[in-house]
Every structure is written in structure tokens, then in C-alpha cells.
Amino acid sequence: MEIKRILYVEDTMEKYMAIYSYLKRLGYSDVEHAGNAEKAVELAEAAKLEGKPFNLFLFDMHFDFFGQDDQKAGRRLMDYFREKGYQTPVIICSSDNWRIQGTVGTVFYIPDRDWEEELKDLISTVKEM
């Protein structure tokens, strides 16, 4: 699968910028940012209507989910998109090492940890799908 567009849902700007910068170094320049579930749904629906859907979702786990602070928002957002018929691969980027069925995997993000290789490997897995 070719990855052309990425939607990254993250409410911590420092973490977003670190991962976004790394994605750019890997050659992915079309990365949209959403800080909460409502914005993510808005961006995904607009992209779908334009005929340019996202090929990959990157979700944090803890962010605002339709007006409520939610520690499992990434899981809930993935379920929401699945219910709407999206088959977009999901990678979780979290400071907790989650194991969630239905995702490609989790990037265990801690700034001083070598999370970059994990992200690169998971993206390679998506490209092989």
C-alpha cells in the first residue's frame, strides 16, 4: 500500500512536532493534524469527499473525544471510524505501550527513547499490506 496522506491525532504539540518532523524526514509531507476527535472526523470526512482519503491514521490514546477528556480516545476513535466503514490502518503513538487488536501496532513514545525505529517499522508494515 502506498502511503500518500496521514491523519495524526495528537493534543500535545511537542509530541506532534517530534513525530511530524520524523515523518517529514521519512518523506511523508502530507500530514494533517487534529487535536481532538471532532477535528479528526471533520478532516477525514472532508478528505473522503474530495476523493483524497487518508491512507494512514496515527492516533494518540489520550485526547478530547467529543467534548470529554478520554484516556482511551484513540481506541474509541478507531472504533468510530470502523463503524463508519473506514478500513484505514491505525498506528497508536502513546506514552503507554498499548496492545490494541485491530491496529498495526503501537509506537511507545517517550522523547529520550528510540521510538523512531518503531514508527519506521510499523510504517513499513503498512506499506506491505
- Number of domains the chain contains: 1
C-alpha cell at 71: 484516556
Within-domain flag for 110 = yes
- Assign residue 110 the CATH number of its domain: 3.40.50.2300
What Cα–Cα distance (Å) separates residue 122 from each residue in 20, 80, 96, 105? 15, 22, 17, 7
Q: How confident is the model at residue 7 (pLDDT cuts 50, 70, 90)?
A: very high
| Tens-digit pLDDT profile for residues 17-62 | 999 999 999 999 999 999 999 999 999 999 999 999 999 999 999 9
| Tens-digit pLDDT profile for residues 74-123 | 999 999 999 999 999 999 998 888 888 889 999 999 988 889 999 999 99
Separation between Cα atoms, residue 103 and residue 88, nearest integer Å: 10
Separation between Cα atoms, residue 19 and residue 93, nearest integer Å: 9
Instruction: Return the SS3 of 91.
Output: strand
pLDDT at position 100 is: 86
Q: Identify the domain containing residue 102 by its residue range.
A: 6-127
